[in-house]
Structure 1
Amino acid sequence: MSDNKPPSIRFPYKSDRLKPLRAFCQTVRLGSVSRAADALFVTQPAITVQLQALERDLGVALFVRSGRRLSPSREGELLYEMAQPLVEGIDALESQFRDKLGGMDAGELNIAANSSTILYLLPRIVENFRQAHPEVRLTLHNAITADGTDLLRSDSVDLAVGSMMEVPPDLSYAPVYRFEPLLIAPTGHALIRQRELSLHDISGHGLILPPRRQITYRLVDLVFHQHRVPYTVALEVGGWEVIKQYVAMGMGISIVPSICLTEGDRSRLATRPLSQWFPSRSYGVVVRKGKVLSPQARAFVELIQPDLFTRGGYDDSGPSER
């Protein structure tokens, strides 16, 4: 039994779709077959053949003549809209590849972090990065976690470093460091001398806390409400250094992660651990899901945690014990 189906038509140019599409885009851009041929360093008949084959394959006329100029038809305008980014992307592939390959010799890196992370966690990491990659322009955007996630979503920053309580579904969070919660008070304060300590004891003193939008305030509020213990906020103020200064002056007490305490604080502040009520705070790397990190960003993350990528460290279900 013979097969009566007509043989499919094959055009030689199909083996290289880029050539006719490039010829088509240049002709639309320049309005002339001869100018397109000059731009592509080929003969005018070669351009004509490519365009004719493209029209036969698509079954539409791609150009209309307007005087001496060729203009795209309605179908041609649609094809140009679709084909131009493809042609430009392919033509730029080699140079972009070379740029990416040598990306660590130049470029820029934008990181979002809150003031405490910038002040206490990142200085040594930034110093090491600058020494290894001095040509990269590094910008640290001082932003609380909520604002940092907005910067991530808009691609205004490459990554964020900080602490998260809840992780939105469009972001990935890899906790790397953990810091214990501490009560801080002036040296000699009654709570420091007290043998046994309870949440009720703490609630009897005015708390100095960061603004309500920040994680610390939300965490303190959550713990006191879970234990049904009322508490008083004596002062809301931004920045751990300011909070520590006001506590040292006797204006109140505070609950802080141990990341913000330095050797210089020992002479003016006393501490007590609070891990029996308050969870430890994780700090790590936040990225937008689906975003391919630049070589600069990957190099910075490797300084934070060298095996973060190889161990599959991004956890989008929230902070976890490491």
Structure 2
Amino acid sequence: MFDTRHIKTFHQVVRTGSYSAAARELGYTQPAVTQQMKALERSVGVPLFARSGRGLRLTEAGEALARHAELILGSLSAAQQQLTALARLRAGRVRVCAFPSATATLIPSAIAQLLAEHPGVRVELHEAEPPDSVRRLLRGECDIALAFSYPGPAAGPPEGVEEIPLMEDLLTVLLPVGHPLGRRHAVRLADLAEERWIAGCPRCRANLLHVCAEQGFEPDVVFSTDDNLAVQSLVAAGVGVALMPALVLSFMCHRKVTGRAVEPHLRRKVSAFVLREHRAIPATTLVLDSLRTAAAARSGC
């Protein structure tokens, strides 16, 4: 196995033509250079230099190593520059796994800020609903997972995972334009007891059943989908009403759909999750900071 110090010294000897000249270039003593070259020759098992008068000439093995030495040192230099860039936050790749409404709202703002301030950092985006997003984090398939949770007993993050709360997202009811309750600023959940309902992802559907039960009724769920655009289309067509997070309101596409606050107020918590030992990675910290900024701006809307 080569010692990189010996390769650097060998490269200087070849470049300058003598041990003494290489020693001056490197700031070593000549005996130190001689000892390093003897150690290198022992590691390769053959002589690298032969005396030629007062100078040195490369043996066949020395010429072969000289051809590779420059490539080896160039690769080491490139690796050092890349690691330095990562340490100084100029570069790095961060894989983020987020649920759809965060992908459409928090993620664009966060990435725009990140690119403006640190263009060397690259974000790779994956999409999954919780808890699958956190499972992907545990499997090493992403570096940051965005997930939401509803009020109630919570098990907390898995061992070795840190939760960073980002915001609380108010839940709203989506109604077709022209619905009698659409004239109100806020709608009581109990007043929707006779409506047909469009449910979201499994976690959202479970929360819908729970909050409706607290208000004394069981919702008539006629359709379930985790596609926000499909929910809007179904509501616009009059198939049913839906309980949706406020994040969705900012990218509603249908003019025939309106959102109203729900009474009592219902919220979900949006958090970022990261492996505890990865929290100190500079690029990961940058992305987390950008997500916090984007969430704070969204909360203040």
State the partner residue of 1:168: 157
1:295 & 1:264 partners in 2: Cα distance?
35
1:159 & 1:263 partners in 2: Cα distance?
24
2:176 & 2:119 partners in 1: Cα distance?
42
Contact 1:203–1:229 (CA under 8 A) maintained in structure 2? yes
Q: Say which of 235, 238, 245 aligns to 1:257.
A: 245
How many residue pairs were aligned? 226
Q: 1:113 deviation in Å? A: 0.3
2:256 & 2:189 partners in 1: Cα distance?
23
Q: Say which of 218, 226, 229 aligns to 1:230.
A: 218
**Counterpart amino acid of 1:41?**
A
1:298 & 1:40 partners in 2: Cα distance?
47
Q: Deviations over 1:44-66 (max 9, x none)?
A: 6xxxxxxxxxxxxxxxxxxxxxx
State the partner residue of 2:178: 188
Q: Deviations over 1:235-269 (max 9, x none)?
A: 11122122112211211100111111137658422
State the partner residue of 1:41: 39
Q: 1:140 deviation in Å? A: 0.5
Moved more, 202-211 or 252-261: 202-211
Q: Say which of 127, 130, 138 aligns to 1:145.
A: 130
Q: Say which of 215, 235, 239 aligns to 2:227.
A: 239
Q: Does 1:273 align with 2:261?
A: yes
Q: Does 1:288 align with 2:275?
A: yes
For structure 1, the residue ranges without an aligned partner over 5 or more in a row are 1-36, 45-93, 309-322
RMSD over aligned Cα, in angstroms?
A: 3.7
Q: Say which of 100, 106, 109 aligns to 1:124.
A: 109
User: 1:205/1:303 Cα in 2 relative to 1: closer, same or farther (>3 Å)?
Assistant: same
**Counterpart amino acid of 1:229?**
F
User: 1:114/1:263 Cα in 2 relative to 1: closer, same or farther (>3 Å)?
Assistant: closer
Contact 1:176–1:283 (CA under 8 A) maintained in structure 2? yes
Contact 1:199–1:229 (CA under 8 A) maintained in structure 2? no
Q: Which secondary structure does the structure 1 equivalent of 2:278 belong to?
A: coil
**Counterpart amino acid of 1:208?**
I
Q: 1:152 deviation in Å? A: 0.9
1:257 & 1:244 partners in 2: Cα distance?
12
Contact 2:162–2:274 (CA under 8 A) maintained in structure 1? yes
Q: Deviations over 1:185-221 (max 9, x none)?
A: 0111123247995434212111112132xx3222212
Q: Does 1:203 align with 2:193?
A: yes
Q: Say which of 118, 128, 139 aligns to 1:133.
A: 118
Q: Which secondary structure does the structure 1 equivalent of 2:239 belong to?
A: coil
1:264 & 1:112 partners in 2: Cα distance?
22
Q: Deviations over 1:254-304 (max 9, x none)?
A: 01111111376584222321141x531222311123434421111111112
State the partner residue of 2:85: 102
TM alignment of 1:54-93, pairs within 5 A: none
Percent same amino acid at aligned positions? 18
2:146 & 2:37 partners in 1: Cα distance?
48
Q: Which secondary structure does the structure 2 equivalent of 1:220 belong to?
A: helix
1:187 & 1:40 partners in 2: Cα distance?
86
Q: 1:224 deviation in Å? A: 1.9
**Counterpart amino acid of 1:132?**
E
1:186 & 1:248 partners in 2: Cα distance?
5
User: 1:230/1:164 Cα in 2 relative to 1: closer, same or farther (>3 Å)?
Assistant: closer
**Counterpart amino acid of 2:240?**
G
TM-score (norm 2): 0.63
TM-score (norm 1): 0.60
Contact 1:175–1:282 (CA under 8 A) maintained in structure 2? yes
State the partner residue of 2:26: none
Q: Which has the higher strand share?
A: 2
1:227 & 1:116 partners in 2: Cα distance?
26
**Counterpart amino acid of 1:285?**
A
1:297 & 1:40 partners in 2: Cα distance?
45
**Counterpart amino acid of 1:251?**
V
